[in-house]
Amino acid sequence: MNFYELATKRKSTRVFKDKEVAPELLDEIKAYFPECKRLVPEIMIEFKIIDPKLSPMMNGCVGYKDFLIEAPHYILILSEKADSYVENVGFAGEDLVLKLTDMDIDTCWITINDSAKLKDRLNINSDKEPVALIAFGYEKSVLSIKRLDIVNLSNVIMKKRSGYEAPKLYIEDAIYAEDMGIKDENSTLDHYTDLYQALVAACCAPSFLNLQPYRFIIDDGLFILVSLADERTSENDQLLNLGILMLNFYRVLSQRSGVYGTWHIGKPDKELELPEGGTIVGYFKI
């Protein structure tokens, strides 16, 4: 798999065809579950493909404003609770999403709003907590489809789509510090370097409502991820988003450089100026 191409190619699909994925492809997906990379390998997680007949039971528990995106298939990811377990699910789940993208299968991350109710409705007998849901299948053409603005279940507004690609941060805007961005011909990040490609992949990671509440600091051989406060993004979604981003960065940098580093959760041992409301999530030695 070319992880840079996959990270920049994938997009969140919100309208799926009424077409099931072939059984042999479902078997390939299941076989990949144990192969998914983990941010914290010792945390136990579990993948479950949900029986399509049970999908109506998830309404009111998952989705933006509790509105479930209809898809032919869903993967539920459960995890034991431990430090950084939500980020770990985002990391492993995004690795699976890239695998699905490589198989030409479309996906969308879906918010879980009430994990206890979801577990009860799906009659899941597990000591692990439902953390994330991924819809997958094949995208339906959006040329004539309007976008849904969901205020609540009784107030759904139809709006014409203004474009097909979600806005993403420019690298210059994503890096926090005036002397660390791209500066004409003397850029510290050449467009063809491994680090630049990894940064692009990180900025292409999906986030809740595409708000991208994070920034990066590059300092003395460290790539540092900073989370920004955002009142519209729940804590669970924020942590999932960060895990997704860290997977994209890790996969692309490792594949292109051939050096398989790892994310370190927490602050490095140095004083850093942070953007207002920012907290350090972790760092990667580059």
CATH number of the domain that residue 48 is part of: 3.40.109.10
Kind plus residue range of the DSSP H or E element containing 278:
strand 278-285
Q: Do 231 and 277 have their domain in common?
A: yes
**pLDDT bucket at 65, cuts 50 / 70 / 90:** confident
Q: Do 180 and 131 have their domain in common?
A: no
Q: Do 25 and 97 have their domain in common?
A: yes
pLDDT in tens, 131-162: 999 999 999 986 544 444 434 434 444 344 33
Residue at 154 is within a domain: no
**pLDDT bucket at 169, cuts 50 / 70 / 90:** low
d(CA 138, CA 72): 9
Q: Do 11 and 118 have their domain in common?
A: yes
CA distances from 49 to 70, 124, 252 (A): 15, 12, 27
Q: Do 18 and 122 have their domain in common?
A: yes
Q: What is the b/e burial string over 1-35, where b = at least 16 CB atoms within 10 angstroms of the residue's CB?
A: eebbebbbebbbbbbbeeeebeeeeeeebeebbee
Q: Do 118 and 46 have their domain in common?
A: yes
Residue at 165 is within a domain: no
Q: Do 182 and 103 have their domain in common?
A: no
pTM: 0.86
Residue at 63 is within a domain: yes
For 234, residues 6+ apart whose C-beta sits below 8 A from its C-beta are: 111, 208
Domain range for 45 is 3-137
- Total structural domains in the chain? 2
What is the rounded average pLDDT of the residues 88-111? 97
The answer, yes or no, to whether residue 120 has pLDDT greater than 50, is yes
**pLDDT bucket at 207, cuts 50 / 70 / 90:** confident
Res 109: pLDDT: 95
| 155 vs 206 pLDDT, higher one | 206
Number of helices (H), then strands (E), belonging to the chain: the values are 7, 10
Q: Do 108 and 194 have their domain in common?
A: no
d(CA 225, CA 216): 5
Residue at 153 is within a domain: no
Q: Do 125 and 224 have their domain in common?
A: no
Residue at 56 is within a domain: yes
Q: Do 181 and 133 have their domain in common?
A: no
278 bridge partner residues = 228
Q: Name the domain boundary from 114, 137, 160.
A: 137
Other C-beta atoms closer than 10 Å to the C-beta of 212 total: 23
d(CA 170, CA 268): 25
Q: Which two tokens stand for residue 192?
A: 């063809």
Q: Do 106 and 193 have their domain in common?
A: no
Q: Do 103 and 226 have their domain in common?
A: no
